[in-house]
Structure formats: structure tokens, C-alpha cells
Amino acid sequence: MIAELQCVVLDCSVPRELSAFYRAVLGGDVDRPDPRWSLGASWSTLHTPGGLVLCFQGVADFRPPAWPDPERPQQFHLDFGVADLDAAHEQVLAHGATPLDDGAGTRSWRVYADPAGHPFCLVRH
């Protein structure tokens, strides 16, 4: 095992409104303090009663999916918590991931694409 699933992240235009919608559907706590994330206008969270965390990421030019139209496909990414970011980096590369950022700086996360091109993040926890 390389990582544990931290959350599922959905792109949207108004994160707080979408988190409130999913709270109505699933229950839970919107924007509960959590050291893993900074909350604000471009990021909102929902901690569900079952333990799953949904995150909502604001995108300036968000275009909603037009399922089943492949020109505007479904949009989300996964965040995986890891203890050692450098070791996890090497492991996901060995399994076919492609880095989507340079990983520079003191950030606590890195962005990759899976072998099919879907984005995911490794996040130090």
C-alpha cells in the first residue's frame, strides 16, 4: 500500500453551495476545521457521517459536465494521504503515473496523472 484515500475532489463554480447541497443529501459537517486543508472561497469540504470527505474546488471558468458528451466529461480528482511524499512519488511513478507539476517548493502535495490521464494528488499527512 502506498497511500490512503483522503478525499474525493469535485470541480465547481461555487464550492460552499455545492458542499451544502451534498450535506443535504448525505448529512455531515460542512467546512469542519481540518489541518489537511485551508478553507475559503475556492475550497469547501463535507465530512460525511461515514467518514468519507468530499471536497469542492472552485474553478474560475468551470464548465459543468454534459454527460454523456465526451467533449465535457465528468470532472473530479482523488487526494491520497501519504507519510513520505518522496517515497510515494517514486512508487507511483514505478506504477505508471506521470507527474503533472514539478513538485518544487515546500508544498505538501504533488499532482500526477494516472495511466489513463486522470489527475490525482499525493498529499503529505
Q: What's the rounded Cα separation, in Å, for the pair 20 and 69?
A: 27
Q: Give the pLDDT score at 123.
A: 92
Q: Residue 114 and residue 58: Cα distance in Å, rounded?
A: 22
pLDDT per position as a tens digit, 45-76 = 999 999 999 999 999 999 888 878 888 887 78
- 4-124, what's its fold? 2,3-Dihydroxybiphenyl 1,2-Dioxygenase; domain 1 (3.10.180)
The share of the chain scoring above pLDDT 90, in percent, equals 68
The answer to whether the CB of 18 falls within 8 A of the CB of 12 is yes
CB-CB contact of 47 with 34 (8 Å): yes
pTM above 0.75, yes or no: yes
What's the burial of 64, exposed, middle or buried (CB within 10 Å: 0-12/13-18/19+)? exposed
- Examine residue 65 and say whether the peptide bond preceding it is cis (omega within 30 degrees of 0): no
CB 23 within 8 A of CB 46: yes
